[in-house]
Amino acid sequence: MRLMDAVRIYSGLILIFFILAFAVRNIGTYLATGKSIKGKSVQLTISVLLSAAVYGLIIWRLIFPGTRWGAGPGRPDFGVIEITGLIFITAGFILGLLALIEMKNSWRVGIRYDQKTELVTTGIYRFSRNPYFLSYDLLIFGYILIIQSILLVVLYIALVLTFHTMIKEEEIYLQSVHGNAFSDYREKVNRYLTFYR
């Protein structure tokens, strides 16, 4: 087995497990609460569609690495760029798992205005107010480095901007629900990454 084949298999498995972890967390939270956990908004719908396109393109390029559909021929060799991509993919995957685990039953997909959840500030949430979004950003950036597709870059930028608008909307909601507790948390922990505490 060639090294690039092993990289594609590893990258594909990480993506599958990332998607499965998200699904398991959704199902687990639904079963524990007995309530729908999915909000409704235009941004959420756009993010789902963009995510599906991103996943589809990544899977296509991992299965058919020689195709130029999706832009860019990719590189046939394995070097620093691909190693860096693997590091980002692995870091994003681990960060995503930590975020999903720490959220427990406070996990929601989008905002559910009819449900009040606990404000989670422990674990990985001590270093990022949005570690799951950050994990997604790191993960997909890693795939960009490995797959090297212009179309994936365009989809990624659109998705990051969509996530950012969703996060800002969620912050308004959290402020209205948790008041001073969220204000204090926001003062201590950055939106994406906190290097010091």
Whether 197 is in a domain gets the answer no
Whether 193 is in a domain gets the answer no
DSSP-derived secondary structure for 83-122: HHHHHHHHHHHHHHHHHHHHHGGG--BS--TT-------S
Whether 63 is in a domain gets the answer yes
Query: How confident is residue 4, by pLDDT bands cut at 50, 70 and 90?
Result: confident
Domain span at residue 160 reads: 3-106+116-188
The vertex-156 CA angle with 152 and 195, nearest 5°, equals 130
Residue 66 has a CB neighbour count (10 Å cut-off) of 8
Whether 111 is in a domain gets the answer no
Whether 195 is in a domain gets the answer no
118-132: per-residue pLDDT in tens?
999 999 999 999 999
Tokens at residue 105, please? Answer: 């039953």
Whether 100 is in a domain gets the answer yes
The vertex-132 CA angle with 194 and 102, nearest 5°, equals 85
Residue 196 has pLDDT above 80, yes or no: no
Q: Which residue has the tokens 């990258």?
A: 11
Whether 15 is in a domain gets the answer yes
Please give the tally of structural domains in the chain. Answer: 1
pTM here? 0.89
40-87: per-residue pLDDT in tens?
899 999 999 999 999 999 999 998 887 654 445 555 566 888 899 999
Whether 14 is in a domain gets the answer yes
Task: Please give the Cα distance from 125 to 193 (Å, whole number).
Answer: 9
Domain CATH code at residue 98:
1.20.120.1630
